[in-house]
Amino acid sequence: MTLPDKAFPVSWDQFHRDARALAWRLSAREQPFRALVCITRGGLVPAAIVSRELNIRTIETVCVVSYTGEIGTEQNQLRLLKEIDESIRSDGGRDVLIVDELTDTGRTASFVREMLPQAHFATVYAKPAGRPLVDTYITEVSQDTWIYFPWDLDVTYAQPIAGADFD
């Protein structure tokens, strides 16, 4: 397994704070959102937080697969597993909020934007290649950083930097 050059582990507490910050930033919008479209699976957690904070009750999913591999570092051809309901797509997604946890290369964002060109796209984290495709985000990380989300992590022992032996 090839590990990325830079790692950015995110705890549950930090992710919750960042997703609430995203909701706070989105709350400044004059017109409320009529629906939220969550890009699964990564967008499920921030969508739950944002929809609660903004009191959005109509929640839809679009299911897209873009990563495979042990730690998801291999990008493949995008595959649409589930479309967005026609009632949300009919006007291009006007007053619809799209939520995902991250925009990386922008491939998924571009793919979903084609379905809802009038929607507002928001992510918690953004990398430079994908950043131009989103309207709102909270934190930018470098393109060569891999974000380890809390739902992908397990608590384990970490060897001290100095390599101390505790025998």
- Residue 105 among known ligand-binding residues: yes
- Residue 147 among known ligand-binding residues: yes
- Residue 69 among known ligand-binding residues: no
**Rounded to an integer, what distance in angstroms lies between the CA atom of residue 155 and that of residue 130?**
30
Residue 1, classed as helix, strand or coil, is coil
- Residue 93 among known ligand-binding residues: no
**Rounded to an integer, what distance in angstroms lies between the CA atom of residue 70 and that of residue 6?**
17
- Residue 146 among known ligand-binding residues: yes
- Residue 108 among known ligand-binding residues: yes
Residue 153, classed as helix, strand or coil, is coil
- Residue 79 among known ligand-binding residues: no
The kind and range of the H/E element at 87 are helix 86-89
Q: Residues at the annotated binding site?
A: 41-42, 100-108, 146-147
Q: Residues at the annotated binding site for xanthine?
A: 104, 147
Q: Residues at the annotated binding site for 5-phospho-alpha-D-ribose 1-diphosphate?
A: 41-42, 100-108
Q: Residues at the annotated binding site for GMP?
A: 104-108, 146-147
